[in-house]
Amino acid sequence: MLFVESRQWVIPGDLLAKGEYTAGENVYKDGEGFYASKVGLVDFENRVIQVIAVHGCYLPSVNDLVVGKVLNVGLSEWVVDINSPYKGVLFVSGASGRPFDSRRDELRDILDVGDIIIAKVLEFDRTLDPRLTIKDRGLGKAESGYVVKMTPTKIPRLIGKKGSMIELVKNRTGCQITVGQNGYILVIGKKVEDEVLAVEVIHMIERDAHTSGLTNRVGEFIGKRK
């Protein structure tokens, strides 16, 4: 039995349902009841109840595409900020195909503190920090552009159904946009004005993520500015 309607606002502790359901994201089961653990919109799919949270930190998942910032250069690895309580670790083996000779200078030639990278999560479990790689196609160091930050819980909204929202933003602003699952988004435009517009649109999507008709409003907003 459901105690809430689909897309209803819920807060931690709200009773969502009782009975034969499965607890999805941000929902916990206690006895027969299913309860929300975060503020957000409740959603049902088949018999899975989940809450699309407004805020939350990023927990890495294997194969996630992430945008990160190099914090530290170690002896054979880099430590990367991926907007998570767990720092990403990029070993040399995940960065370069060449055989490696342990000298720090060589590491800094590949990546230095402050560099932005597009990476993939290779491994993660909560006993070890997430391992990253930048060896696949499309991954690597960003030479230019602007990094926007968004709460990771709204990344799916930014991407849209089958990528519809992000494609709209890319096409209409003419920018290359790499959306990290971790809430960091790299925007590269031919002109600074295009990047500024794309960043504003991304903030607008974050702010209005839970509203309907957003795709149309985004289109209109860009139309007025370009």
Partner 1 sequence: MGDSSEAISNIERKRIMELLSKGKRLDGRGVKDYRKITVERDVVEKAAGSALVSVGETKVIVGVKVEVGEPYSDRPESGALTVNAELTPLASPSFEPGPPDEYSVELARVVDRGLRESKAIDLEKLCLIPGKKVLVVFVDIYVLDQCGNLFDASLLASVSALMSSRVAEYSVGKGGEVEAKSKYVPLPFRSYPVSVTMARIGGDFVVDPSLDEEMVADARITVTTDKDGNVCALQKGGAGVFSVDEVLEAVNVAIEKSEELRRNILEV
Partner 2 sequence: MVSKARKKLVGKARGRVDGRKPNDLRPIKIEIGLLKRADGSAYIEQGKNKILAAVYGPREVHPRHASLHNKALVRCYYRMASFSTEERKSPAPSRREVEISQVIKDALEPVIFSEFYPRSMIEIFVEVLQADGGTRCAGITAASLALANAGVPMRDLVASCAAGKVDGQLVLDLNDVEDKEGEADLPVAFAPQMGVVTLLQMDGLLSKDEFDQTFKLAVDGCKRINTLQKEALRGKYLAVGTTGGSGQGERGG
Does residue 193 belong to the site contacting partner 1 (CB under 8 A)? no
Chosen residue from 2, 56, 91, 93 binding partner 2 by CB under 8 A:
56
Q: Which is nearer to partner 1, 169 or 186 (CB)?
A: 186
Transcribe 165-226 into DSSP letters. HHHHHHHHHT-EEEE-TTSEEEEE-SSHHHHHHHHHHHHHHHHTTTSSSHHHHHHHHHHHH-
Neighbours of 220 (CB within 10 A): 11
Indicate the helix (H) or strand (E) that contains 106: helix 104-110
Task: For tokens 């960003």, name the residue.
Answer: 142
Task: Quote the Cα angle for 169-69-209, to 5°.
Answer: 35
Contact partner at residue 50 from partner 1, partner 2, none, CB < 5 to 8 Å by partner kind: none
- Find the binding residues for partner 2 in span 160-219 (CB under 8 A): 207-208, 210-211
Q: Which is nearer to partner 1, 52 or 116 (CB)?
A: 116
Quote the CA–CA distance of 131 and 87 in Å, as a whole number.
9
Q: Which strands make up the sheet holding 146-149, listed edge to edge? A: 146-149, 184-188, 176-179
Contact partner at residue 170 from partner 1, partner 2, none, CB < 5 to 8 Å by partner kind: none
| Dihedral angle over CA of 186, 192, 194, 198, nearest 10 | 40
Specify whether the CB–CB gap between 55 and 49 falls below 8 A.
no
Q: Which is nearer to partner 2, 56 or 219 (CB)?
A: 56
Contact partner at residue 48 from partner 1, partner 2, none, CB < 5 to 8 Å by partner kind: none
Quote the CA–CA distance of 97 and 78 in Å, as a whole number.
16
Size of the site for partner 1 (CB under 8 A): 15
- Find the binding residues for partner 1 in span 130-149 (CB under 8 A): 142-147
Q: Which is nearer to partner 1, 142 or 159 (CB)?
A: 142
Does residue 79 belong to the site contacting partner 1 (CB under 8 A)? no
Chosen residue from 87, 135, 170, 225 binding partner 2 by CB under 8 A:
87
Per CB under 8 A, which region of 7-15, 105-113, 169-177, 191-199 contacts partner 2?
7-15
Does residue 115 belong to the site contacting partner 1 (CB under 8 A)? yes
Q: Name the residues that contact partner 1, by CB under 8 A.
A: 69, 71, 81, 112-116, 142-147, 192
